[in-house]
Structure 1
Amino acid sequence: MSEHKHEYVSEKEFVDEKLDIERSSVILEEEENSPIPEVAAIVSNKDDPSTPVLTFRYWVMAVLFSIILSFFNQFFWFRTTPMTISTLVIQLLSYPFGKFMAKVLPAGRLNPGPFNIKEHVLVALTANCAGGTAYAVDIIVIQKVFYDQDFGFGANFLLILTTQMLGYGMAGVLRRYLVYPAAMIWPANLVQVALFNTLHQDEDLAPGQWTRFKFFLVATLAMFCYQWIPGFLFPVISSIAWICWIKPDNLMLSQLTGAGGLGFGAISLDWNNIVAFLGSPLIVPWWAQVNIALGFFLIAWIMVPIAYYSNLWEAKKFPILTPRLFTDGGNKYVVTNILTDNVLDEAKYEAYGALRISTFFALTYGIGFAGLASMMSHTWLYHRHKLVAQWKQSREHSEDIHHKLMQAYPEVPDWWYAALFLIMTAVAITICEVWDYKLPWWGVLLAIFIAAIFSLPVGLIQAITNQQPGLNIITEYVIGYILPGRPIANVTFKTLGYISMAQAMTFTSDLKLGHYMKIPPRAMFWAQLLGTVIAGLVNLLTANWLLSSQEGVCTTNETFSCPSAGTFYSASVIWGVISPNRMFGPASMYKAVNYFFIIGFLLPFPFYFLKKVFPNTFLEYVHIPVLLAATGMMPPAQAYHYTNWLVLGFAFQYFARRYHPEWHLRFTYVLSAAFDSGVAFMVLISFFIFTIRDAEMVEWWGTRTDLCPLEGHPTIPAVPLTPAK
């Protein structure tokens, strides 16, 4: 990854000092701070090692809020319009709760003084490990809904636990490269740090200046009140496809401008809609957003229309933007017609016909190939010297002031991480051997090996850009060639390979947050384990409840249509049932997408050498892996999600940062937290008042969903099916 001279200053070298860990408080000179402006402005350079952390108050709040967060996020994951309640909400709720417990509990071991910031951070870290829905739940859902298969609660829980916890071992190795160095800032953590400081620290204010806490409260209340408009009263403003509305019966206009099409000109006035798939645009550095914008415009608004209207791969038989599966005639592909015991039946496949997908879906896979290859060449070109230097320095402590302060605490022994990694690997092998996942023991080891190889380069990208290239495509590609025709083996391999790496990133990011907030590493280790176990159990219980209580869930249910599970199922068919050799092999219509591997690998080279020839130009900001990963969330993300996300990113990460830098450093991250909190409170209250009672808003023009009815239609109508005799 290149050094972005206009975005971050270079790393400053500090004199190697030994900390006096017996001091109850460490107070530093003002100039001894992080070399990164955003970090220096938000993260405190003081610490008190005597602050209690694993208190009774922590255990009560950690368990309670982890259960609440994992339940609601799993519940909303099934919804047609997904919603994620961020850990920022738990940060806010746990603050008054902790203050209340400190006030009412008797003083002593259960209540060791005022509720402190480190307890608060640890509660949030535990909740963060519980906040994400377990990816393995997708396996369980498609097994039950689409493949009529259920291995039982025990097997399902162990699968979730192993796929969620394998990343711990990788995080233990990665901390030397992705946590200790000052340049690895993990931008999303700065939002949480800003909120912690807002709640716990007094600020030096000019007369009439708002505190960050007051700003947070006002912004949260404002978003809470506003969100009732797009979220309940007037949902049409969530996706205003105004160009399409001009002539809704025009097919091409609908395909290009509809919210379900390419979204030209579509506007969203719904914060939840904007951040649903890409996260908050207020925290991603502007240079990274420029790369995302370039990637999106080139792929979604140039490549896709050209490919579609030139009828590449008979594109016009299918909608312009869809993950659904089709027959050659444009009808729904019924996968069960080609399976026997959930394995591809060659005779049935030959009789039924080949699988077809939209041209956009095929191109998305090609771009994913290119992004993965470019990540490897880019990391080698830009980071090979830095990685070697960091390896040599990993046993020293010549880092920034935050790393120096952390020397006051015992580090987690490497064998803790190694033991957990080996145990989870053994459990994963046992699961696949005992139950009929059709994935042999060597397949489990291969998946984990792939995750381990890619974890460092992916971490380098995420630590600086807040964007995470995924391994889902390469893992399903590899096992699809090795074990064709086995959909459950394919998705299990993908989950072990992809999510092990993704979880390693989550745990490493949390370690960096603990690093910023000076949390004892061993306390973080147990907090992360606690949150992960609670989440796995609650996710599974919630999923089982919805699958058994909601009729037509993930298929015909309009409220719980499971868009992510639908895409996951399509991938299981493409890579597992049909296999990559049939879909993208030499005899396939889509064989050209394999060239994207070569294109992606070569793309970083010209930009690397051009940057050396033309230093201090826009080339400093070109980041090919981020550019190619731009459309990685499409589908289920829609094009208009990107455009509205980029508009807000420009307003805050470019305009406010450049022309109002003091305001930007002081309030932007707090504003992001406030908006997330306001939306989450509205959704929670709406759920208890309306959703749980099956109550809906009165139908009127503002609740209509058919204002652009042709946006998901193909140009060439499907061939009518011949009725069975």
Structure 2
Amino acid sequence: MAKEEVDGMKYEEKYDAEDARVELEEEDDSPIEEVRITVPNTDDPTIPCNTFRMWFLGLLFAGIISFVNQFFYMRQTTITIGYAVVALLTLPIGHSMARVLPTTQYSLFGFKFTLNPGPFSIKEHVLIGTMTSVNTYTAYAVDIVVLQKVFYGDEKPFIAGLLLVWTTQILGFSMAGVLRKFLVRPAHMIWPSNLVTAALFRSLHHVEGSEDSSNRMGRMKYFLLVTLGSFIWYFFPGFIFPTVGMISWICWIKPDNIVLAQLTGSNGLGIGTIALDWSAINSYVLPMVTPWFAQVNVLIGFILVVYVMVPWAYYTNLWDSKNYPILSAELFLPDGTSYNKSEVLVNGVLDEAKYVAYGPLRMDSFFALTYGVGFAGLTATIVHVALYHGKEIVQRWKTSRLENEDIHSRLMKAYPEVPDWWYGILFVATLALTFVTCVVWDFMPWWAVFLALGIAMFFALPVGVVQAVTNQQPGLNIVTEYVIGYLKPGYPIANVTFKTYGYIVNTQALAFVQDLKLGHYLKIPPRIMFMAQLSSTIVCSTINLATAMWIVNTRPNVCTKEGYPFTCRSTNTFYAASIIWGAIAPARVFGSKDNALYGPTQWGFLFGALIPIPFWWLAKRFPNVRWLQLVHWPVLLAATSNMPPALPYFYTNGLLWGFVFAFLLRRYRYNWWARYNYLTSAALDTGVAISGLIIFFCISMPGASMPYWWGNPNSDIDYDNATIEEKNAASLDHCYHGSSNYYGEQK
């Protein structure tokens, strides 16, 4: 064991009261270092968690969060209230309820209970948080209901939409029964983001008195100070000085140089762009959570795609790239003007003659290449998991409950496991409702249900393994759109419905498994976790749909510019995807039909399937070559899967932050890293979340605004007649041509 690891373990034993109670042998702790320094290896099964306080606060805040997040999801400026805010708000309320609720014991149908079983516990708090976390983001299927009513003029009964939302959200839960033995119990399936959550809850419930004798700052004090600093600082990039969040300083040297602007502007490739905004730094890389080896893979994939492939494709004018911006998610005509989708649709269905007459669909080379890399990442995930984890998965399947387990698995034996038949009944019931929903209300054919769920199930384990180890989740949205686009072209609603059942069922399954792992770390009884998550999902998805329908039915011109502030930016993106993959279909984009150009990107499927094989063979052949063991092609290829809408400078700044914290501090300041790294990430998230709420609700919503100045430019100018100096001055990063095409035009 390395000296810094030994020092870190001694440090934790000296200064942590809960870790110092018992001196444990190494085999009585997790074999994973990050888990050892974050998660306690002790448990008290008598701590109450299935309490009135937990159910009341959990369902109350889950319902509130689902309403607020859905409400703002449909507005021009969106805001999402997440885990950290709920954890902070419910802590004082829980303690207050423990002081004021009666301790009288009641009896109901032979079941004895009390409203106040004692002090508010960390286990109650974790359950409250997880009831909201799985419902933080709005139910994906709500967009299908809104899409049909607003964009296609085909309104379904409310019960149809409700069943659609319920089934897409719940089907994934029923898959967790099989996945848990592979993704929860094994010690090396660490789920890195859970370590931040565990650090947050341990800090909120830490006994500071136990650290008074040390010369180290207590966790709670440190957490509050960093949260305060993050809260104060975010007022600058979030309101006072937005330019500080995207300092494209290289572009400022000569902002009228188009190529320089495209390469260095924040809306271009972002070379050298500095972000002093934690929400941008932490957006996609999660630098303080993602293991360093995974970040190195992300860095290599990012460089290959963004700094090698894209400039080559763009400046050699591949696919007429120079007519379009170097980075854009927009759709174009061959001359670079915006693609008017209404010109080729009749009653929401593609008119092939009009499509041929109007012109083929075009996109910039960055967008097209990232689709190809996404295709490669999908097949690489399957092959990588089969090669590197295949034997273990087969062995675990054969001996699922007999193998040796780490300390956390042994401690969890104190709690009854969720019976397999619970998951089985849930799956059968939800599957029946899925068939009724899709067939009766004509969302998609019955055979598509089997195929979509087959894709979700097939990829659940390989995607889960990648996410559990690297904190990166390869998405299935592309492959699901691709498959149904070829099988049933011209039907946009069937396309988005198929995508939702294939993609979101998979995502929900892994979200539930991730929460099961958090419960595994913090010793939450699995049956209570199951019931809490399922009940909160039913409540929250119902509120999501009701809120959306209330807005659609009461706001004029909703989801249009005239309906501001309810412009539904995300729903409009969803609508555009339904056109590309559903109405126009991939054969006309990635195939060879009607002058499609982007067929070569489909070679990504073959490339992704083959590229892990030689590296796996080399790693076996040369086991002492360390870097060969750390090459992870699914992560490397998925590095750019979120671009666009993600911007390159999000990645460069996140990876730089990761180099400092995940590599330098861990290697050279191990004691600090072991104690404060995950806590720092949670505190920065919390400060930004609270500051964002204050800015939105207390400043922007009442109508106040920051005066315009250089750091907060006024973008409301006449761009058609403005000079380049005026355009640069009006741009947030003062680099107007970052989003121009090669000829300096923005059509």
When normalised by structure 2's length, the TM-score is: 0.89
Residues 412, 522 of structure 1: 8 Å contact kept: yes
* Residue from 279, 282, 285 that aligns with 1:272: 279
Taking the aligned partners of 2:386 and 2:335, their CA distance within structure 1 comes to 45
1:608 is the counterpart of 2:635: no
Taking the aligned partners of 1:124 and 1:497, their CA distance within structure 2 comes to 27
What amino acid sits opposite 1:51 in the alignment? I
* Residue from 115, 128, 133 that aligns with 1:128: 133
* Residue from 584, 593, 610 that aligns with 2:601: 593
Query: How far off its partner does 1:279 sit?
Result: 5.7
Paired residue for 2:740? 713
- Deviation string 1:652-699 (CA, Å, 9 cap, x unpaired) is 101111111111111111111111111111111222212322322222
What amino acid sits opposite 1:518 in the alignment? K
Query: How far off its partner does 1:148 sit?
Result: 3.9
Aligned residues: 698
CA RMSD, Structure 1 to Structure 2 (Å): 2.4
What amino acid sits opposite 2:621 in the alignment? V
Residues 559, 566 of structure 2: 8 Å contact kept: yes
1:695 is the counterpart of 2:713: no
What amino acid sits opposite 1:680 in the alignment? A
Quick one: structure 1 residues 212 and 483, their matched pair in 2 at CA, closer, same or farther if it must change by over 3 Å? same
Residues 74, 539 of structure 1: 8 Å contact kept: yes
Taking the aligned partners of 1:493 and 1:525, their CA distance within structure 2 comes to 26
What amino acid sits opposite 1:275 in the alignment? N
1:214 is the counterpart of 2:221: yes
- Deviation string 1:453-508 (CA, Å, 9 cap, x unpaired) is 11000111111111100111111111011000111111110110011101111000
Taking the aligned partners of 1:703 and 1:514, their CA distance within structure 2 comes to 44
* Residue from 283, 301, 312 that aligns with 2:307: 301
Query: How far off its partner does 1:625 sit?
Result: 0.4
Paired residue for 1:364? 370
Residues 490, 575 of structure 1: 8 Å contact kept: yes
Report matched runs for 1:502-521 at 5 Å. 502-521=507-526
1:657 is the counterpart of 2:666: yes
Paired residue for 1:680? 689
Query: How far off its partner does 1:539 sit?
Result: 2.4
Query: How far off its partner does 1:210 sit?
Result: 0.8
- Deviation string 1:238-277 (CA, Å, 9 cap, x unpaired) is 111122233322222221111111111111111112223x
Taking the aligned partners of 1:81 and 1:257, their CA distance within structure 2 comes to 26
* Residue from 632, 647, 652 that aligns with 2:641: 632
Partner SS state of residue 685, structure 2: helix
Taking the aligned partners of 2:293 and 2:272, their CA distance within structure 1 comes to 23
- Deviation string 1:287-324 (CA, Å, 9 cap, x unpaired) is 00011111111111211111011110111111111111
What amino acid sits opposite 1:710 in the alignment? H
Paired residue for 1:107? 103
When normalised by structure 1's length, the TM-score is: 0.92
Quick one: structure 1 residues 667 and 180, their matched pair in 2 at CA, closer, same or farther if it must change by over 3 Å? same
Taking the aligned partners of 2:372 and 2:273, their CA distance within structure 1 comes to 26
Residues 216, 670 of structure 1: 8 Å contact kept: yes
Paired residue for 2:727? none
Taking the aligned partners of 2:745 and 2:562, their CA distance within structure 1 comes to 21
Partner SS state of residue 707, structure 2: coil
Report matched runs for 1:641-656 at 5 Å. 641-656=650-665
Quick one: structure 1 residues 82 and 306, their matched pair in 2 at CA, closer, same or farther if it must change by over 3 Å? farther
- Deviation string 1:636-655 (CA, Å, 9 cap, x unpaired) is 11111111111111111011
- Deviation string 1:151-202 (CA, Å, 9 cap, x unpaired) is 2533222222211111011111100100011111111111111122112233
Quick one: structure 1 residues 96 and 421, their matched pair in 2 at CA, closer, same or farther if it must change by over 3 Å? same
Paired residue for 2:11? none
Partner SS state of residue 437, structure 2: helix
1:97 is the counterpart of 2:93: yes
1:44 is the counterpart of 2:43: no
Quick one: structure 1 residues 633 and 145, their matched pair in 2 at CA, closer, same or farther if it must change by over 3 Å? farther
* Residue from 464, 471, 474 that aligns with 2:469: 464
Paired residue for 1:22? none
Query: How far off its partner does 1:716 sit?
Result: 4.6
What amino acid sits opposite 1:637 in the alignment? A
Paired residue for 2:410? 404
Taking the aligned partners of 1:8 and 1:570, their CA distance within structure 2 comes to 51
- Deviation string 1:370-421 (CA, Å, 9 cap, x unpaired) is 0001111111111111111211221225211111111111111111112212
Structure 2: gaps (5+ residues): 7-20, 105-113, 716-730
Taking the aligned partners of 2:228 and 2:463, their CA distance within structure 1 comes to 37
Report matched runs for 1:106-255 at 5 Å. 106-108=102-104, 109-202=114-207, 204-205=210-211, 207-255=214-262
Q: Please identify, of 631-640 and 157-166, the stretch whose mean Cα deviation from structure 2 is larger.
A: 157-166
What amino acid sits opposite 1:85 in the alignment? I
What amino acid sits opposite 1:658 in the alignment? R
Report matched runs for 1:561-572 at 5 Å. 562-572=568-578
Taking the aligned partners of 1:546 and 1:241, their CA distance within structure 2 comes to 39
Taking the aligned partners of 1:113 and 1:403, their CA distance within structure 2 comes to 27
What amino acid sits opposite 1:609 in the alignment? W
- Deviation string 1:25-62 (CA, Å, 9 cap, x unpaired) is x9784541111111112212222222221211111110
Residues 555, 563 of structure 2: 8 Å contact kept: no
Query: How far off its partner does 1:139 sit?
Result: 2.5
Identity of matched residues, %: 52
Taking the aligned partners of 1:675 and 1:647, their CA distance within structure 2 comes to 17
Query: How far off its partner does 1:75 sit?
Result: 4.2
Residues 122, 527 of structure 1: 8 Å contact kept: yes
Quick one: structure 1 residues 684 and 550, their matched pair in 2 at CA, closer, same or farther if it must change by over 3 Å? farther
- Deviation string 1:129-148 (CA, Å, 9 cap, x unpaired) is 22122222333344445434
What amino acid sits opposite 2:90 in the alignment? S
Partner SS state of residue 711, structure 1: helix
Taking the aligned partners of 1:7 and 1:606, their CA distance within structure 2 comes to 34
What amino acid sits opposite 1:602 in the alignment? L
Partner SS state of residue 690, structure 1: helix
Quick one: structure 1 residues 550 and 8, their matched pair in 2 at CA, closer, same or farther if it must change by over 3 Å? farther
Quick one: structure 1 residues 717 and 544, their matched pair in 2 at CA, closer, same or farther if it must change by over 3 Å? farther
Partner SS state of residue 622, structure 1: coil
Quick one: structure 1 residues 684 and 455, their matched pair in 2 at CA, closer, same or farther if it must change by over 3 Å? same
- Deviation string 1:89-137 (CA, Å, 9 cap, x unpaired) is 2222221111111011122311111111111111111111221222223
Quick one: structure 1 residues 7 and 509, their matched pair in 2 at CA, closer, same or farther if it must change by over 3 Å? farther
- Deviation string 1:553-604 (CA, Å, 9 cap, x unpaired) is 4657786665544443332222111111121113431111111111111110
Query: How far off its partner does 1:353 sit?
Result: 2.0
What amino acid sits opposite 1:284 in the alignment? T
Residues 206, 219 of structure 2: 8 Å contact kept: no
What amino acid sits opposite 1:713 in the alignment? S
Taking the aligned partners of 2:559 and 2:706, their CA distance within structure 1 comes to 22
Structure 1: gaps (5+ residues): 10-25, 721-725
What amino acid sits opposite 1:375 in the alignment? T
Paired residue for 2:58? 62
What amino acid sits opposite 2:602 in the alignment? N
Taking the aligned partners of 1:604 and 1:408, their CA distance within structure 2 comes to 41
Paired residue for 1:348? 354
What amino acid sits opposite 1:323 in the alignment? A
Q: Please identify, of 337-346 and 152-161, the stretch whose mean Cα deviation from structure 2 is larger.
A: 152-161
Partner SS state of residue 646, structure 1: helix
